[in-house]
Structure 1
Amino acid sequence: MQALREASGRAIPFGAKNVDTDVIIPAHWLKTITRDGLGQGAFETLRKDPDNLFDSAEFSGAPILIAGDNFGCGSSREHAAWALLDLGITAVIAPSFSDIFSGNAFKNGILTVVLPQAAIDRLMEVARTDPIHIDLENQIVTTQFQDRFPFEIDAFRKHCLLEGLDEVGLTMARDAAISTYENKARDTLPWLSKGVVTA
């Protein structure tokens, strides 16, 4: 997982409420055995409209998505987070998120920022013409117009995102302690390493 200290640049002023994971990535994309290319299916139904924001040259490569209440509701498919990442989105700002989506996003290195609706409205306005900056370390969203919106984040999630630690990375960071324990267990509990004895 890539470390994430900040997200800065254009933000897609999407703003829709109750966007479920089937809208983020339709079910027929779940048959894939790789994460690569899922960005092509992200918001597929909405992208049938030639004037959609996701294919607009103005927002090409935008790392931030601004959404409405209850973003990521619906099924628990992790493909939704994979599709956003493949689309280039590393942060989503919304008034609220589905708990499962928020967890999947975090585990894949996407920052979910919860801000009140008034802040979302202001950021939607700014995003139409100017960049937005998210500083994870200082937990603040800013614009070049002196807007400053602080946000809360779980300390453990913040640490993992800043250091680029997913579940595998967290385990590997404890490699020395795990090896020490296994060596000690081998010496003090030798029967555990000899397998099961049958009669």
Structure 2
Amino acid sequence: MLFLTTIEKLFTPLVQPTSQELLDAIHKLQASVKDAGPFIRDPENKPYGRKLIYKSAHVEILVMHWASALDCSPHDHGQSYGWVQILSGSSNHTLYKLRPGELPVPVKEQVENKGSLLNVGRGMIHKMGTHEKDPLITLHVYSPPISGMKVFDLEKCAACIVSEDCGAWWPDEQRQLLQTISLPPQPAKR
């Protein structure tokens, strides 16, 4: 498949790439929803279906197909950074601020449309979800490959670190729950 060959050609030479080097490779890739089509997975009862399509020691690339009415949980990306490209549809995107020992607090909400490239900085906490009825398909490029991702459950006042095969939701399978972290409840707003 030409799409995977192009990915290998562009991303295999990248060793400890900068965010800008990842972005340059994404621009050269010129990914489309047609390219992503063979890798689209049904979200079933999760916020998104995910398919890892490339992984080296320094970069991983995933295609995600988002559920129509279920956002992912607020999460970070472990020690990784990268980019999310919206290939089709539009996304509600919420950024959070986190103080040590507290729950994340939303600080910015916006709609991201087809063609948008979202910078995922190291330590950034965010959540995404489908904005309208058109299917939301996204391409995710991270370096290094994600491990130690922290997912927040704002209702339970808790966070967890999930395994590499879990998405941005509280895991159903015990093996995907690597660590649970209790957080104090937020004070009531006056």
Q: Give the number of the structure whose alpha-carbon radius of gyration is greater.
A: 1
Higher share of residues assigned strand: 2
Same fold by TM-score greater than 0.5: no
Query: TM-score band, normalised by the shorter chain?
Result: under 0.3
TM-score normalised over the length of structure 2: 0.27
Higher share of residues assigned helix: 1
TM-score normalised over the length of structure 1: 0.26
